Amino acid sequence: MKGDAPKAEKCITKFFPPFSGVDQHRLMSSRKESTSTSVAAMASTSGTLDSPVKQIQIEGLVVLKIIKHYQEEGQGSEVVQGVLLGLVVDDRLEITNCFPFPQHTEDDADFDEVQYQMEMMRSLRHVNIDHLHVGWYQSTYYGSFVSRALLDSQFSYQHAIEESVVLIYDPIKTAQGSLSLKAYRLTPKLMEICKEKDFTPEGLKKASIGFENMFEEVPIVIKNSHLISVLMWELEDKSTAADKHELLNLSSSNHLEKSLQLLMDRVDDLNQEIVKYNTYSRNLSKQQQQKHQYIQRRQQENAQRQSRGEPPLPEEDITKLFKPPQAPPRMDTLLIAGQINNYCQNVKEFTSQNLGKLFMAEALQGHN
Amino acid sequence: MSVFGPVVKIHPVVLASISDSYERRNEGASRVIGTLLGTIDKHSIEVTNCFSVPHNESEDEVAVDMEFAKNMYELHKRVSPTEVIIGWYATGFDITEHSVLIHEYYSREATNPIHLTVDTALQSGKMNIRAYVSAQMGVPGKTVGVMFTPLTVKYIHYDTERIGMDLLQRTRLATTRTKGLTSDLSQVGGAAARIQDMLTTVLAYIEDVLSGKVTADNSVGRFLMDLVNKVPTISAEDFENMLNSNINDLLMVTYLSNLTQAQIALNEKLVLL
């Protein structure tokens, strides 16, 4: 069961830039200080990022909205998507609001995404909500989000707005006890390659890109304003639901099974790609050999003819005789490798959590 | 105090939205209003979404941009077609005469709209969240007025929402009101610490009862029995076996995924040669 490429996965390809650069500056200066800025000493955790964005700061409201959107609209294996709004402060990207994107349905062919976006942003501007596009979010199924569509979308976003990110929300992992929200950007190297659209092996070799430096993860911090903190205190008082500790649930083999299944599918895909590449390189080398032989034969013949006093045969255009085989695009391989890497990471996290839980259960049992 | 009318169930998203739009209000505006979206049941109204509507309020008149409200509702409807307008909200403590007018506007959009007030200015020291429905009162034919009757308000959330809320709750304890997202094993540690806290509270209570400081409560005693019996009694050997097989599974999976990762890394290096 291929759960990672739902057939209706459409991406926000029709993206348009924010209103104007002037607007952005004006809004940044007039932003209300009531949603206070945090202390500048909040150093980023991974200091090796040399991108313009070192940390992402999300408001609690955005988190709640994303969760709600998935909960209500994403019950199938469809991905839900939406737009993130906010602004850039120093090297931080602050995300202050978001709005969801409606699902694509086949009977809604004349639905204009761009118009929807424009309307939304215009309306939000009226109520003083930051209307600057700073990225987009997507839900994922068991962590399978590294795909061509995501790459294309993120590339077009990052191309137009340098600091944009894609937030990946994993609802299944969240339901197991801990909020799983990650922010990714494309590395500058990958941006270069996408710009050139040069996906041949030579191109990738030149840029020396591996699957590890395709995406970079940006650390996320959640921040709430004072008023929302007050709200939190209120709700804490009033909510009567007892704490359910799903995090300590032991019976999570179902999740593990699914993840492994998806992992195996990806590995199969990668295998096919590798086979393709191998046949290609074998063909190439065979062709090289043939070329050599041909040239040698030619030279021999020419030498013979000269010795016999006849004019040499014309040099034929070798490239026309031996057309080099098409180099297979390596981008898919990279993506699959990246996806496999992601799955492995998830599986390892999961198993380490489970090991901890099992040892706790052992300790509990030991006292009996 | 018996209350007529449906129970109003609010999701935390709505309240956070309202607080946020209050913070972003225009200069000079003392309160914000907006539309509430949600679903209506037989006995309850569930409020799941909201958006703010620009409005101007002065001493004697009030103007609400209904065009805007309609537009926004259409846009929202595209995303979640099941949500309908069920009422409106206003920040602030009291219900003013303007509220009556605005309520009338909304009566045209929805049948029997509810009105929600959120006291964001914290006038009474707490953020009062109340819901009302309007009812006619007075002498029919002569002076007719409108009265707002309160409704019970409950807070509900989806499971995943609750997990998100847990994380948000933790931000209020940090001094800069921020919190990073923790990673795997430390989360289990955190959950274990929370359970430990709860256990210490229970233990303290038991000590008190044993030493006679607090009278024993039978229902609590029954819960405690349940708790202790929840740990299943399995023979130590069986448990060892189960535990070991589980641990073996997990270790094997970890090993295999590490192997796969090494494999693809190798593959990359070879290709790039």
Q: Is the model's pTM score more than 0.80?
A: no
* Torsion angles phi and psi, residue A175, rounded to 5: -65, -15
The domain boundary residue, chosen from B144, B159, B174: B159
Count of domains in chain B?
Answer: 3
Residues B40 and B94 in one domain: yes
Residue B178 forms part of a structural domain: no
CA distances from B245 to A258, A350, B248 (A): 19, 17, 5
Q: What confidence score (pLDDT) does residue A77 get?
A: 56
Same domain, B226 and B239: no
Band (A7; pLDDT cuts 50, 70, 90): very low
Higher-scoring residue by pLDDT: A166, A16? A166
Domain ranges, residue B206: 184-231
Does residue B148 share a domain with residue B48? Answer: yes
CA angle B172, B175, B180 (to 5 degrees): 70
Interface of B with A in 10-69 (CB under 8 A): 11-13, 15-17, 19-26, 48-49, 51-54, 65, 68
CA Rg value for chain A: 27
Look at residue B214 and tell me if it is in a domain: yes
Q: A366 exposed, middle or buried (CB, 10 Å; 0-12, 13-18, 19+)?
A: exposed
pLDDT(A163) > 50: yes
The reply to whether B109 falls in a domain is: yes
Answer with the residue of higher pLDDT: A80 or A9. A80
Site from A127, A225, A347, A355 to mutate, B interface, most B CB atoms within 10 angstroms? A127
> Which residues does A352 contact at the CB level (< 8 Å), separation at least 6?
B184, B185, B254
**Helix, strand and coil in chain B, % to nearest 5:** 45, 25, 30
Reported as a single tens digit per residue, the pLDDT across A108-128 is: 545 567 788 888 888 888 777
Q: Is residue B253 part of a domain?
A: yes
Same domain assignment for residues B45 and B129 = yes
- Picking from B142, B159, B176, the residue at the C-terminal end of a domain is B159
Domain-located, residue B39:
yes
Look at residues B95, B125, B159 and tell me which one is the last residue of a structural domain. B159
Is residue B219 located within the same domain as residue B251? no
Among A14-18, A92-96, A219-223, A330-334, name the one with the lowest average pLDDT.
A14-18
On whether both B144 and B224 belong to a single domain, the answer is no
Same domain, yes or no, for B150 and B52?
Answer: yes
**Is B2 a domain residue?**
no
Q: Quick check: A35 contacting B, CB < 8 Å?
A: yes
B12 with B47, same domain: the answer is yes
Q: How many helices and strands (H and E) does chain A possess?
A: 11, 8
Question: How far is residue B103's CA from residue B33's CA, in Å, rounded to a whole number?
Answer: 11
Q: Are residues B138 and B68 in the same domain?
A: yes
Do the domain assignments include residue B170?
Answer: no
**Co-location of B241 and B210 in the same domain:** no
Let me know whether B242 and B226 are in one domain: no
One domain, residues B216 and B244: no
Residues A47-81 pLDDT 10s: 344 567 788 888 888 888 888 888 877 666 567 88
Q: Which amino acid is at A366?
A: G
CA separation, residue B170 to residues A222, B163, B181, B189 (Å): 10, 11, 11, 15
Q: Which residues of B touch A351 (CB under 8 A)?
A: 250-251, 253-254
Lowest mean pLDDT among A202-216, B12-26, B171-185: B171-185
Reported ipTM: 0.81
Q: CATH no. for residue B52?
A: 3.40.140.10
**Position B175 in a domain:** no
